[in-house]
Structure 1
Amino acid sequence: MAISVRNKVGPYRCGDCPAAFAHHGAYYTHVKRLHGKVVDRYGTVTRAEKVCCEACGKEFSAKCKLKIHYDYFHLKKTKFQCETCDKYCRTAVDLKKHRNLHADAAPLPCDTCGKTFKTRGAHTRHMKKHGLTAGDGPFKCRSCDAEYSVRTNLYQHYKVKHLKLKRNDRITIKNLFNPDKEIVVLPSKKMFENS
């Protein structure tokens, strides 16, 4: 867990990490949440009482955290419920992402393999797996604005998007990387060997 220390100088210094606080309330919250301890107004530190989930045995530093855990994991309920399929989500952000699955928005296709995605984030993550970059790839498509950081990804892109073939179709594309020559598409030698 990353520690954000805004005030590096203050009268309330944490004994377990380099954090320091100007106010006792901020120090108290930090020590309880991060280190599982309770500090009274005189500076006496004691171990916080952990509360245990009766269903699975997981421990929590506060009853409110136990309630969130129990409601979501054991009762399968939260206040963030999808109206379409009744699925419960942990947060409002998760619910928003989930609702996109029900949207009738036009699918976003992958130019390399043809797979479609309903959300821009899923599409972007998938394209990164193929090596698509945002405008700085050394391998540029001759027929559109697509740019790739890997040669084979441009090869697959051209085969699927511009030649309208399937990803696993066996062909050879000559001169794809030489813009001065015309592209020639030939059946793969392996196709003739299997016949």
Structure 2
Amino acid sequence: MKCHNGKKEFRCEECGKECLSKKLLKRHMGSHSEDRPFQCDICSRKFKRSYEVTKHKKIHKGEKNHVCDVCGYATMHKACLETHQKRHLREYMFKCDVCGKGFFSSFEFREHKNIHTGEKPYMCDICGKAYTSKNSLMAHKKTHEPDAKPTEKVHECKMCSKSFKYRKSLLVHVKSHAGEKFLCDFCGKAFSTKDTLKLHRRNHTGEKSNVCNVCGKAFSVLYTLKVHQLIHTGEKPHTCDQCGKAFTQRSTLVVHKRSHTGQKPYQCHICNKTFVSRTLLNLHLRSHGDHAYYKHSYSVVN
């Protein structure tokens, strides 16, 4: 211990770091110890401090009280919500030509288009119910778990089958369907524009009007055809201004440029490790076990 400007300072004997109180020094000393006395009684993961295990257990409880009023995204942490909301202020890489909604990843964009086409590629292998998004399927499958609470309410959108744990999230989402008045004569589903209905009807008729003039492969969506045709032309319109490497899609270029900047915007909520792309993050999440696949077990950081 020593004095500096009349204040007592406590020095760590391991690294020399100085702390303003004995309590802070004790907390710091824990960083040098491998002892983790606090254990999660659900997944057995161990922690050095009691508040860390308390915070961690919220992952298992699924307490997501902070809801984005723009898109309905829900999270357990206020800081994660604030980080998420900044995304709405940035430039979108993908934009839906049907409703104008923007997205930062091709995966989100593809899943969103399922709402317009009515396609439900994610099917439950237990009961056969299908969903437009992977997250909706995962939320549904929890209802089949042995320890699932029978009284737990899942709020499902009647227009697209997307489900939400909180009614507030559902109400925000439902606004995206406002004004839908074009009805499908096959299934009765409603859409906001005639073009959206036309895309949806192809699921019933099997029509794929966008045909590649090189190989004859057909697509129901024009955008998908345009991306496909780049394979034949070899065109790579998106070039890196740092090294000159070219790519067929802008999203691939965006991920590549992070190798120059060192930016790793995708962060794991469990261990805080960061990654350049969501694909790498998803691979990493497997190391944490099944609980890592809870909806939004990651965040996008600046």
Settle same-fold status: TM greater than 0.5. Answer: no
Q: Report which of the two has the higher share of helix.
A: 2
* Higher CA-based Rg: 1
TM tier relative to shorter chain:
0.3 to 0.5
TM-score by length of 2: 0.28
RCO higher in 1 or 2 (8 Å CA, sep ≥ 6)?
A: 2
TM-score, reference length from structure 1: 0.40
